[in-house]
């Protein structure tokens, strides 16, 4: 019994053969970019380094970005896609964000595009942005050249992820916020000349509210448009203290959205 046990203990242990080269190669295989930002029509070559094995390339969304058998990515339309390189059953990915190629006066508004007047500024507006919705909301302010404070168009665009509702279904919900009591949110604000109506745009019917807001002796001519386009809820708030015809400019910008 003792002799047999000792022999068993002295018997060589079989250890699976480890391919050191394969382990080293797997550890060094990399994709050249993990993130890419491209404009529609632009291309970028992705590469896999650290291996001589065959690489298979695929795109999660060919309508946004395609990839050739050699890793050349072509941006097709605005959106996001994941490019995956598969090597020896292992996957290496690159997230591709594609944005529209803009004209001189075109600006992005989420996945939409607007055209702004020549010479106007288009800037991020933190006042209207809820930080918890930063990934879903675009908040911008459009200002004419040499304008004083209180003359601007504030633009709020929220991605809903849903098809735009029928105007008749949401008109009542919007209208209830446009009363003198609702708009005069503090005791030193006076609301006069309130008028609400339906307004026809290139994208359908918008809710329009026009009124005069007076505070600290200054009268602001306010016009608000609320409407939906595709998967976006949009609100344009016009403030004009100098009769700069800002309302007409807002309508032009609204009709330029695509």
Domain limits at 231? 107-257
Residues 35 and 122 in one domain: no
> Which secondary structure element, helix H or strand E, spans residue 55, and what is its range?
strand 55-59
Torsion of CA 19, 24, 25, 30, to 10 degrees: 150
pLDDT tens for residues 123-147?
A: 988 765 565 665 678 889 999 999 8
At 160, which CATH number?
3.40.1000
**The pLDDT value given to residue 101:** 86
CA distances from 77 to 40, 63, 105, 137, 163 (A): 6, 7, 20, 21, 20
Residue 215 reports pLDDT greater than 60: yes
Residues 219 and 245 in one domain: yes
- Cross-sheet strand order for the sheet of 55-59: 35-39, 90-99, 79-87, 55-59
pLDDT tens for residues 37-61?
A: 999 999 999 999 999 999 999 999 9
* Number of domains, the chain: 2
Residue 26 reports pLDDT greater than 70: no
171 belongs to a structural domain: yes
6 belongs to a structural domain: no
21 belongs to a structural domain: no
16 belongs to a structural domain: no
């Amino acid at each position: 019994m003792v002799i047999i046990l000792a022999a068993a203990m002295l018997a060589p242990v079989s250890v699976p053969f480890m391919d050191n080269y394969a382990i080293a190669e797997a550890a060094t295989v990399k994709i050249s970019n993990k993130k890419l930002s491209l404009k529609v029509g632009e291309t970028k070559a992705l590469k896999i380094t650290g291996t001589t094995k065959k690489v298979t390339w695929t795109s999660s969304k060919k309508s946004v970005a395609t990839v050739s058998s050699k890793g050349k990515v072509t941006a097709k339309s605005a959106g996001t896609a994941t490019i995956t390189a598969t090597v020896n059953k292992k996957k290496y990915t690159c997230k591709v964000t594609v944005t529209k190629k803009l004209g001189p006066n075109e600006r992005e508004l989420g996945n939409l595009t607007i055209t702004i007047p020549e010479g106007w500024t288009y800037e991020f507006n933190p006042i209207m942005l809820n930080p918890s919705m930063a990934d879903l909301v675009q908040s911008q302010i459009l200002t004419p050249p040499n304008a004083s404070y209180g003359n601007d168009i504030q633009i709020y665009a929220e991605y809903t992820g849903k098809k735009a509702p029928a105007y008749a279904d949401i008109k009542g919900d919007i209208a209830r916020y446009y009363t003198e009591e609702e708009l005069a949110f503090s005791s030193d604000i006076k609301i006069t000349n309130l008028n609400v109506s339906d307004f026809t745009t290139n994208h359908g019917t918008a809710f329009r509210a026009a009124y005069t807001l007076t505070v600290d002796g200054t009268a602001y001519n306010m016009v608000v448009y609320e409407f939906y386009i595709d998967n976006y809820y949009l609100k344009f708030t016009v403030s004009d203290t100098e009769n700069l015809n800002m309302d007409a400019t807002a309508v032009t910008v609204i009709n330029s959205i695509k």
